[in-house]
Structure 1
Amino acid sequence: MSTINDDAVRVISWNSEHNGIDRDGSDRRWRLAMSVFAGLRPHILLRQEMTRADLHGQRAVWAEAARLGGLQPFLAHATPESANPTGVYIDRDLFEPTEYFEHGTAMWHPVCNPVVRLKGSTRKLSLASIHLCSWDPDLRLHEARRLTILGKPGMAAILGGDCNSYPHSQSEAATLPDWPDIADRTHFEHRTVDWFGERVSDTRPDRVLAGSHDGRSPVFSELGQYAATKLNQPDALAPTASLWRTDQGDMQRIDRIYATPQVAEALTSLEVLVNDDIREASDHCPVLATFSLSRLRRALSEDAPMAA
């Protein structure tokens, strides 16, 4: 795992299964997750499946913030359909919150979207924790299109989470599920789409967010592909889930972090983290994106060119 340095901004995205709380109420897995975070000292934490963290005055959210060294929390609403809201934590020593938005229209999980200003910079940075629909490919496509509003011209953003779908790059096509061999047929219905009479892996959300069309730049850079191709870090394409299931085929890279292109240029590394504690804490691996603080500050300065 990464070492800590002073010119680094560490962004972690992690779906910690049911917030690390077991059905019997045990918080053993939550404590393991907190130990992982404590060792990594994130400046931005994008969380998914903060199960029932909205209850009791968001008691669990504030307990987690305290365990993370006083990071400031933001929590989206749970819905009648899912008690698993998304959340974002930020380091107030580096970032000043300026606004908070929640995108919930026709989204399975509302998107937690604080906007911050990196101290010493002038442009704002939009942060978003995302958890795309696990059971409806068409809703996932809608959700991805909604997320493109965070990448409008002149905007800077980092968003990440559980995409419940697959990378669209041809370089990863051979790693996608071999569907005839998948035992869980419900999983097949949830993760495939019709394509000229065949059922294929759903890569459409990633294509919307990070696809190039007619030679035009994508809305966002997908940081796994960016690290693999621009930074010569092939391990950035390591799979993230499931660490637990054996009936859904090989592990897949469904947890991803995206950034607007000028922000992506400040990236120094992208890692998929796994160890015994992570395997016990959740069925997903955390994804750690490390940015150069100085380069990110330049990217967010007034005279830095923004994506058009």
Structure 2
Amino acid sequence: MITNEEHVRVVSWNLEHNGIERDGTDHRWHLAMDVLAGLRPHILLRQELTRGHMYGMSAVWAEANRLGGHIPFLARATPESANPTGVYIDRDYFEPVEYYEHATGMWHPISNPVVRLKGAPKRLSLASVHMCHFDPDRRLNEARRLTTLGKPGMAALFGGDFNSYPHAQDEAVSLPDWAEVADSTHFEHRTVDWCGERVSDSRPDRILAATHYDRPPVFAELGQFAATRLGQRGALAPTSSLWRKDQGDMQRIDRIYATPRVAEALISLEVVVNDEIREASDHCPVMATFSLSRLRHALAEPPAHAGDADL
């Protein structure tokens, strides 16, 4: 049963190698679970659930239980990466109705459960995303795949590690100064050719959240939404890397997106950082807080056609 609590909290977090060291030490995992217990997410979008598919998904169920009995969804690991994405939902607030996995040329397949917020008829598509860290062209394909969650009549909310940069002009001054980054591999991974020069790769964000020919964007990027619509400039704080010091300044590569009506229910967007987080992972969690009543209103329309299964 949904309580009298008025908010719905969504957290996206890339926990480096699921908080497990190569020797099996799990101190960082326990530290991360303490952080998440304090944030109390109703929806958790996780990246790097390393080897979470092994041993009957025991690590995934352990995390679900530490969250308070959330329902977990785990995408497949691949031959290229043992770091799958996953989604956890609070069973008191949401009920799952479908599950999809997007794996068309993906480095990390996208975990995509479809849920209903209790008391609202319209389906909400959730997704945890971890875009390819080494290939800008793969990231383009991944971004275009995500646009299928924003087809007319659909409602979606997704987040993750996009390994690329925001496209908004007010953030351009914060992008890496590539002349000062000595790591040539990182330069190749994160830049693209644009009008005859190499620039920071912001193309996935342009596909997902830019306005073209006066058309509205497919999704609202919630950091920019909070900064421009809610006056919360702290929503544009960088998220990664808390550990690496050889790849330039920290950047806002972890983001959350929503279809426009869902975005209208947003109350706040926060990049969470403290000493425990710095020890647990190289990424900060991103937390979006929504008004429960406004989110119900956004999902009050009749459900989209069942043909969504062709995603």
TM-score bracket, normalised by the shorter chain, equals over 0.9
Contact 1:298 1:304 (8 Å CA) reproduced: no
Task: Name the Cα RMSD after superposition.
Answer: 1.2
SS of the residue 1:101 aligns to: strand
Kindly state the Cα deviation for residue 302 of structure 1 after the two structures are TM-superposed: 2.0
> What is aligned with 1:163?
162
Q: How does 1:1-308 map to 2 (within 5 A)?
A: 6-302=5-301
Q: Deviations over 1:99-147 (max 9, x none)?
A: 0000001111000000000000000000000000000001101110011
CA distance in 2, matches of 1:232, 1:116: 30
CA distance in 2, matches of 1:201, 1:152: 28
> In structure 2, what residue type is equivalent to 1:293?
L
CA distance in 2, matches of 1:58, 1:264: 33
SS of the residue 1:96 aligns to: strand
CA distance in 2, matches of 1:303, 1:46: 26
CA distance in 2, matches of 1:179, 1:216: 32
CA distance in 1, matches of 2:109, 2:302: 33
Change (3 A) 1:98 1:216: same
Structure 2 unaligned spans of 5+: 305-311
SS of the residue 2:77 aligns to: coil
SS of the residue 1:206 aligns to: helix
Aligned length: 301
Contact 2:238 2:251 (8 Å CA) reproduced: yes
Kindly state the Cα deviation for residue 6 of structure 1 after the two structures are TM-superposed: 1.5
CA distance in 2, matches of 1:237, 1:74: 29
> In structure 1, what residue type is equivalent to 2:145?
R
> In structure 2, what residue type is equivalent to 1:110?
P
CA distance in 2, matches of 1:34, 1:179: 36
Q: Deviations over 1:260-285 (max 9, x none)?
A: 00000000000000000000000000
Identity of aligned residues (%): 74
CA distance in 1, matches of 2:79, 2:173: 38
Change (3 A) 1:263 1:304: farther
CA distance in 2, matches of 1:74, 1:239: 28
SS of the residue 1:64 aligns to: helix
SS of the residue 2:59 aligns to: helix
Contact 2:50 2:84 (8 Å CA) reproduced: yes
Structure 1 unaligned spans of 5+: none
Contact 2:35 2:277 (8 Å CA) reproduced: yes
Change (3 A) 1:303 1:124: closer
